[in-house]
Amino acid sequence: MISVAIIGGSGYTGKYIVKFCNNHPFINDFEIYANKSADKSIHEVFPELVCEVEDKVIRSTKNLEYHHDVYFLALPHGESLNFVPKLIENDKIVIDLGADYRLDDYQNFMQTYNLNHSHPNLLKEKNYGLAEFNDKYSYNLIANPGCYPTAALLSIIPIVKNYSNSIQNISTIAYSGLSGAGKKVAQDMLFAENYNSVKAYNIGTHRHEAEISQEINKFGIEIDYSLTTHLLPIFSGIYSTTIIHLSDEVFENEIKASFNQHFEDSAFIRLRENPPELKWAIGTNYCDINVKCLGKKIIVTAAIDNLIKGAAGQAIQNMNKLFGWKEYLGINSYKEELENV
C-alpha cells in the first residue's frame, strides 16, 4: 500500500486523480495540496464527489509534506519547476502532468515555452510517459504526455515503427474541448464566446507540435510534421485526424495488422472499424482509433478524453506500470471485477 500526494488537485484533472486514487486498491491514503483552494474541503471544491469520496481539507502547497510515496503534479507549465527537483532529491516518485519535463532538450524547451528551465539535467533524467509505449521506468520522474500528443502519437507510432523509410510527411488536425485550457478565466475561452463556432488557434506555433516531433524522431528519422489545433464548444475531448503520406503504396490490411500487433495487450486502446465518435471516449480512459488507407496515404482518426486519457487516467496508468500493477487499477472498475470473477 502507498500514500499519494496530489499537488494542484483542485483543478479539472485533479478531480479525476482524486477519484482514481480513491478507487485504487493499493492506495492507502492521499492528500490534496493547492494554492487558491487551500483550507477548503474536497466537497466544497467538488460537490459532485459527496458520497463518493471522503471529505478532507485541502492543504496548502506551502506546507507540503514529504512522507508520501507518489506525487502527482497537475499544475500550469512553469509551476512544477518549484516542486519537482526537491521531490526527486528526496527520492520520491513524481508524475508530472504539466509540460515542464516533457521535452528532452534545454534549448528546445526555452524556444517552445519561452521559459528558462531551472534544472535542465532532469529533462534527460525522466521517463516520457506515453503509457502504451513505455515499459522501462528508469527514473523516478515521469513526464505525462500532453493531450494532443497522446492522441497523435498513438495514431502515428505504429506506422513510424514499421514504415519509417517510406514516410514523406505527417500532419495532424485536432480539436479540443475548452477544459484543455484549465480553470483560468479568459474571455476567449468562455463557453458563450465559443458556442455555435469552431476556430483554429496557434497555427504553426502550438507547443505540442515540438513534443510530438520529438517523440517521432526518436525512431531515428526526421519527419516533416505539422499540428493544427482547433477549439470545440464542448467541455472535454480531443478528436484528431492524422494524415501520413508515403512514397509507396500500402495495403490497409497490413496497416491494421501493425496496429493490432502494437495494441493487442493494451488495456485502453479500442481499434474501431469506423471512425470513432468523440462521445464514445468522453468520460473514459480509452483511445478509440480507426485506420483507413488510400493508396500512398494513411488516415488515422482518434478520440480521447483530454482530462482522462490525455491527463489523469494516463498518469494513473503510468503509476500502475511503474509498480508492476494491472494498468486499469483505480481507473476501470469493470475490468477489476472481471479480474476477480
- Mind telling me the catalytic residues? 147
Asked if residues 12 and 21 have their Cβ atoms less than 8 Å apart, the reply is no
By C-alpha distance, which of 21, 121, 23, 22 is closest to 71? Answer: 21
For residue 250, give the amino acid letter: V
